[in-house]
Structure 1
Amino acid sequence: MYNKNYLKILLFIFIGITIGIIPQIIGYICGPHKSYKEKNSSYECGFNSFKDSRIKFNIKYYLIAIFFILFDIESIFFFPWCISMKKIGIYGYITIMIFIFELIIAFLYILKEGALEW
């Protein structure tokens, strides 16, 4: 038998997935399906591409995306900790403080290396 606390997490995940999928389904059903000239034109930068698509990009774009994903995934670990805080006691508190300390050290390293500077 599963714990009631996990039911809250499953409900949170279900609502998140539902909010992400329902607008896409509505847009697909209600949106236009005909192709026309403006729809197929380039729109990201306002002009047609003039080079090969395999040009070099600055690595910092990728680093920022990876840092965001890493810190986002690490923040997910706070959900089970918050739910089970009463059961795990002081050992769980010390463990999460070590985890937060490691996150702070990683963030300070990122700032020191200048990975978030443009």
Structure 2
Amino acid sequence: MFFVSVMIFFNVFLSSVLILVSLYLVKKKVMTREKGSPFECGFDPKNSARIPFSMRFFLVTVIFLVFDIEIVLLLPYLFSASVGVSMFSLFSGVMVVVVLMIGTFHEWSEGSLEWFINN
């Protein structure tokens, strides 16, 4: 019982010290006009918020997210394949890859994968 109470005290003490140190390190030392102004992706917040953005950049971002989700869906399959492969898991893994391949060929034929415009 004594050991448990000492460990609880030690954890509370260590947490308090870490909180105080982080508050000291994060504190703004000198407040200037530049540090006080908000920064949003390089846009000046005082001008109009209706600035046009590149649709190609948006499409590249969406494509990146799709392939990022692909990795999230396929990693558990790869880890479970080392234990044993059933027909259902093999079929579902192949179907995920087939759907992504169809989507990739559609984006390719649509021209979304062209990152520059030929003049």
TM-score, normalised relative to structure 1:
0.55
Does structure 1 residue 112 correspond to structure 2 residue 112?
A: no
Q: Cα gap change, 1:61/1:100 in structure 2, threshold over 3 Å: closer, same or farther?
A: same
CA distance in 2, matches of 1:79, 1:45: 32
Q: Which amino acid aligns with 1:97?
A: V
Q: Cα gap change, 1:57/1:28 in structure 2, threshold over 3 Å: closer, same or farther?
A: farther
CA distance in 2, matches of 1:47, 1:63: 20
Q: Which amino acid aligns with 1:37?
A: R
Q: Cα gap change, 1:61/1:27 in structure 2, threshold over 3 Å: closer, same or farther?
A: farther
TM-score, normalised relative to structure 2:
0.55
Does structure 1 residue 63 correspond to structure 2 residue 70?
A: no
Q: Number of matched residues?
A: 93
- Structure with the bigger RCO (C-alpha within 8 Å, sep 6+) is 1
CA distance in 2, matches of 1:81, 1:47: 42
Does structure 1 residue 37 correspond to structure 2 residue 33?
A: yes
**Gaps in structure 1 of 5+ consecutive residues:** 1-25
Q: Cα gap change, 1:42/1:80 in structure 2, threshold over 3 Å: closer, same or farther?
A: closer
1:43, distance to aligned residue in structure 2 (A): 7.6
Quote the RMSD (CA, aligned, Å): 3.3
Please identify, of 105-114 and 27-36, the stretch whose mean Cα deviation from structure 2 is larger.
27-36
1:68, distance to aligned residue in structure 2 (A): 1.3
Which of 1 and 2 has greater Rg? 2
1:72, distance to aligned residue in structure 2 (A): 0.7
Counterpart of 1:82 (choices 70, 78, 83) is 78
Please identify, of 86-95 and 66-75, the stretch whose mean Cα deviation from structure 2 is larger.
86-95
